[in-house]
């Protein structure tokens, strides 16, 4: 429940400053989360990105001003942080399929706006159907990984599509054969790391090894899974179920469990020999907790 109150404080800050320039770092600080994990939790709970929420709310309030005031379109654009009337018009038309001028002239009576969110109304909601068993809390030893580094982005869940493509690329190019001294072939790790405040992060696909490699081909990196406590979620089913499990973890489980996410990478381990992509996947997801 604490997570919802913390996120609501950030939402309240956004609402109080819709006409001001805001950074993700400023917003996330109101919820006492790092910028990256704030964005991840926000999107998992609400189903859209922080930037998407700000954009939709600004345009929704702008639509009200267009109908209820005689402020110029340029003034409304400037008041909601648009650099020009043209930029505002493009954004408004993309959001509502009508230009601000046409909307004001009553050629369109109403548009579907986004109202200010009370997070308690969203409590426990998530995208898609998922039936997730209670995780097992396990202690993992330090593990050395050698893998290939890919780059992706949290915004609008772009990473789900990207990561599926990265696994395919990793297999097609047989990158696993370039990993020295593999301990457990056919059990690739997918590790989220190198988090950036703007939502960018690295996704490393690799395998466990005896020790860090001294020489690596271009694109490969050494990584270390820290020793510690993890919540382990077992996933059996389609890629969609795996993705919904990630949404559940950040949108529901962390917010309602007695555990807090600690520093460190998230990762998943896939049992390749017993998986058939994309309908029958067997994997385990690990979240560092305390």
Does residue 124 have a pLDDT over 80? Answer: no
Strand order in the sheet with 143-153: 136-140, 228-237, 281-288, 266-270, 189-193, 200-209, 143-153, 220-225
Look up the pTM and report it.
Answer: 0.91
187 pLDDT higher than 70: yes
- Rounded Cα distance between 83 and 74, Å, is 9
156 vs 190, more confident = 190
In DSSP terms, 2 is beta-bridged to none
Instruction: Specify the higher pLDDT residue, 206 or 1.
Output: 206
What average pLDDT does the structure give for the chain?
93
Residue 121 pLDDT: 72
pLDDT at residue 222 tops 90? yes
- Model confidence at 130, in pLDDT bands (50, 70, 90)? low
H/E stretch holding 222 reads strand 220-225
Please list, in sequence order, all residues whose beta carbon lies within 8 angstroms of the beta carbon of residue 67, skipping any fewer than 6 positions away.
Answer: 103, 104
Please give the C-alpha separations between residue 181 and each of 148, 158, 213, 214, 215, in angstroms, as whole numbers: 15, 33, 9, 12, 12
pLDDT above 50 (res 93): yes
pLDDT band of residue 46 (cuts 50, 70, 90) is confident
223 pairs with which residues across the strands? 145
pLDDT score of 1: 63
What the block records as the tokens of 154 is 């949290």
CA distances from 279 to 144, 171, 237, 271, 282 (A): 30, 17, 6, 14, 10
Radius of gyration of the chain (CA): 22
Reported as a pLDDT band with limits 50, 70 and 90, residue 166 is very high
Residue 73 has pLDDT above 90, yes or no: yes
According to the model, what pLDDT value does residue 126 have? 44
In the predicted model, is pLDDT for residue 261 greater than 60? yes
Superfamily of domain 2-121: Homeodomain-like (1.10.10.60)
On the 0-12 / 13-18 / 19+ scale of CB atoms within 10 A, 24 is: buried
Average pLDDT over residues 216-221: 97
Residue 253 DSSP symbol: I
For 136-288, CATH gives: 3.20.80.10
Question: Distance between CA 14 and CA 184 in Å, rounded?
Answer: 47
Over 50: is that where the pLDDT of 279 sits? Answer: yes
Kindly state the helix (H) or strand (E) to which residue 235 belongs, with its residue range.
strand 228-237
- pLDDT computed for residue 122 by the predictor: 60
Q: What span, in angstroms and rounded, lies between the C-alpha atoms of 167 and 165?
A: 6
Calpha distance 72→206 (Å, rounded): 56
- In the chain, what are the domain boundaries? 2-121, 136-288
Whether the pLDDT of residue 106 is over 80: the answer is: no
């Amino acid at each position: 429940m604490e997570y919802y109150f913390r996120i609501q404080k950030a939402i309240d800050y956004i609402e109080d400053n819709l006409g001001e320039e805001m950074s993700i770092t400023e917003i996330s600080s109101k919820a006492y989360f790092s910028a990256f994990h704030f964005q991840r939790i926000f999107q998992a709970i609400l189903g859209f990105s922080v930037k998407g929420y700000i954009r939709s709310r600004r345009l929704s309030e702008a639509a009200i001003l267009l109908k209820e005031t005689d402020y110029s379109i340029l003034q409304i654009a400037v008041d909601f942080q648009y650099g020009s009337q043209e930029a505002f018009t493009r954004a408004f038309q993309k959001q509502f399929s009508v230009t601000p001028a046409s909307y004001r002239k009553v050629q369109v009576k109403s548009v579907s706006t986004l109202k200010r969110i009370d997070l308690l109304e969203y409590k426990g909601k998530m995208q898609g159907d998922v039936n997730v068993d209670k995780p097992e809390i396990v202690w993992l030893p330090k593990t050395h990984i050698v893998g290939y580094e890919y780059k992706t982005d949290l915004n609008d869940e772009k990473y789900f599509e990207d990561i599926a493509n990265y696994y395919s690329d990793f297999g097609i190019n047989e990158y696993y054969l370039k990993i020295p001294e593999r301990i457990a072939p056919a059990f690739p790790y997918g590790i989220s790391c190198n988090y950036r405040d703007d939502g960018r992060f690295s996704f490393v696909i690799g395998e466990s090894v005896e020790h860090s490699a001294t020489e690596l081909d271009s694109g490969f990196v050494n990584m270390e899974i820290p020793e510690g406590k993890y919540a382990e979620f077992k996933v059996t089913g389609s890629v969609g179920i795996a993705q919904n499990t990630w949404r559940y973890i950040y949108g529901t489980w962390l917010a309602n469990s007695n555990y807090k996410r600690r520093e460190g990478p998230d990762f998943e381990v896939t049992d390749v020999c017993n998986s058939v992509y994309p309908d029958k996947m067997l994997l385990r997801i690990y979240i560092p907790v305390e």
